């Protein structure tokens, strides 16, 4: 990776990924916003994603010396309300530019996005107005409760969502990762305009936000629009508060019945987790371990498939953040308990033998290929950029780390993962 002045008058920093030939231009705007642009002249469309480091788990924090606790679901509620302003609804404005717009709230971040093939400048101006024009009144806040209440009920009826949330609730005693992102109908009823403004002023400061743009765009034009639309923000200090979380799981099994044709399962292995994000090397090692152990070419995958215990829905996921880290094996199975039993049996063997050199090389190429493939997706690029900025990881270091990972690195990382004595099985079964 090389970093230098790219020669653009706006004094961007150029970040080059030599292995993939990707270039990013980064600038800390005078408003406080970090702007990262990945020009793709061969793309027909452009994609913009702006995020704030505020998600559902940030329900307790200290802002300007004051300790604040907000109702569960506030981050998601605020995401909904920012689309409204005194001038009208942002979706209506986007419709006039032809852009496709959306937003999402996760456990750790809230992001707003649009993609377009035309009128990029106008759409970017709408995005800047959206994140700078909070408008909350008792009437508008109350109006949203019914809409979000219906969304909450929809997720409560979603087997795919519930199998994961039930797992997190069984794994974690205290950490807010065990609380649904949208909250409950009861908690959102407690949200007021004052609470929304408190959260907005604490986390929606431009110094706490990152904008990533991918596509056929002119970096200088982006900064011109930013100069015209963004207000200068003085930095604020907001510190999120997370409770201590024991290493041990809360319970080892949880089950719920919903209308499903085939049972769903999620087997989670809880790890020790500092109140910080994992480093890139840790993430790469985990990706390689999971690919080698449970990828579609692995002996575990073939065994589960041969015994008709999984189908093509089977996969793995690594969830990590401030104070939580969990490896998850998930999918459909006609016998979830048997599938989980086999996975744990194979995990014990893995710890005894370690990952082999051959499996490492196969998994390394697979993980490397997935990263290379992601560079064809504007949304994947932007999401990875935002994630890297908020976690302190460098945008383009993964490819070089993959090439340098050794078998010793992999098996050392394995020691901290997949503890069969500290896991939980979540199952969704059909209604009798």
The answer on 123 and 14 residing in a single domain is yes
Q: How far is CA 276 from CA 205, 226, 272, 321, 328, in A?
A: 21, 31, 11, 7, 20
* 245 lies in some domain: no
**What is the pLDDT at residue 21?**
64
The single residue of 9, 14, 22, 79 carrying the catalytic annotation is: 79
Beta-ladder partners of 427: 255, 265
The answer on 76 and 167 residing in a single domain is yes
CB atoms within 10 A of CB 140: 13
**What is the pLDDT at residue 270?**
98
* 124 lies in some domain: yes
* 384 lies in some domain: yes
Element of type H or E holding 177: none
Q: Which residues of the chain have pLDDT under 70?
A: 1-10, 17-21
Domain of 143: which CATH number? 3.30.830.10
Q: Which residues make Cβ contacts (< 8 Å) with residue 376, sequence separation at least 6? A: none
Supply 54's token pair: 């505020």
**What is the pLDDT at residue 9?**
47
The answer on 157 and 133 residing in a single domain is yes
- Host domain of residue 144: 2-240
The answer on 212 and 65 residing in a single domain is yes
The answer on 285 and 228 residing in a single domain is no
**What is the pLDDT at residue 96?**
94
Number of domains in the chain: 2
DSSP assignment of 14-51, as one string?
EEEETTTTEEEEEEE-TTS-EEEEEE-TT-SSEEEEEE
* 247 lies in some domain: no
Q: Is the whole-model pTM more than 0.85? A: yes
pLDDT digits (tens, 9 = 90+) for 268-278: 999 999 888 98
d(CA 215, CA 264): 38
Supply 431's token pair: 């209604």
The answer on 362 and 325 residing in a single domain is yes
Residue 79 appears among annotated catalytic residues? yes
């Amino acid at each position: 990776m090389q970093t230098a002045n790219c020669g653009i008058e706006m004094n961007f920093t150029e970040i080059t990924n030599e292995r993939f030939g990707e270039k990013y231009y980064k600038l800390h705007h005078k408003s406080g916003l970090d702007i990262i642009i990945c020009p793709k002249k061969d793309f027909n469309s452009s994609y913009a994603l702006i995020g704030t480091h505020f998600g559902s788990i940030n329900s307790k924090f200290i802002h300007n010396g004051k300790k604040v606790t907000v109702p569960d679901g506030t981050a998601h509620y605020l995401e909904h309300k920012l689309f409204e302003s005194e001038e009208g609804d942002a979706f209506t404005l986007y419709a006039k530019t032809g852009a496709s717009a959306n937003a999402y709230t996760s456990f750790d971040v809230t992001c707003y996005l649009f993609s377009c093939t035309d009128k990029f400048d106008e759409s970017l101006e709408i995005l800047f107005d959206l994140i700078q024009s909070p408008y909350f009144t008792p009437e508008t806040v109350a109006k949203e409760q019914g809409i979000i209440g219906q969304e909450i009920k929809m997720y409560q009826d979603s087997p795919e969502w519930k199998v994961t949330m039930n797992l997190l609730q069984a794994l974690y005693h205290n950490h807010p990762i065990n609380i649904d992102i949208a909250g409950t109908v009861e908690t959102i009823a407690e949200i007021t305009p004052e609470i929304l403004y408190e959260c907005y002023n604490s986390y929606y400061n431009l110094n706490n936000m990152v904008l990533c743009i991918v596509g056929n765009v002119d970096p200088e034009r982006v900064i011109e629009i930013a100069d015209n639309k963004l207000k200068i923000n003085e930095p604020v200090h907001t510190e999120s508060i997370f409770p201590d979380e024991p290493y041990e799981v809360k319970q080892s099994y949880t089950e719920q019945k919903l209308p499903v044709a085939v049972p769903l399962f999620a087997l989670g292995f809880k790890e020790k987790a500092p109140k910080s994000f994992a480093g890139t090397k840790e993430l790469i090692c985990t990706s390689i371990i999971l690919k080698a152990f449970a990828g579609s070419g692995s002996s575990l995958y073939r065994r589960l498939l041969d015994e008709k215990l999984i189908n093509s829905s089977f996969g793995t996921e690594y969830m990590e953040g401030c104070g939580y880290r969990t490896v998850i094996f998930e999918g459909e199975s006609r016998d979830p308990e048997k599938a989980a039993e086999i996975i744990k049996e194979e995990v014990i063997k893995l710890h005894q033998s370690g990952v082999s050199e051959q499996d490492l090389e196969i998994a390394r190429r697979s993980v490397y290929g997935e990263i290379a493939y992601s560079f064809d997706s504007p949304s994947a690029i932007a999401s990875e950029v935002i994630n890297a900025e908020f976690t302190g990881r460098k945008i383009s270091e993964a490819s070089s780390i993959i090439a340098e990972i050794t078998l010793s690195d992999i098996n050392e990382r394995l020691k901290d993962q997949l503890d069969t004595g500290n896991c939980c099985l979540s199952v969704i079964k059909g209604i009798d």
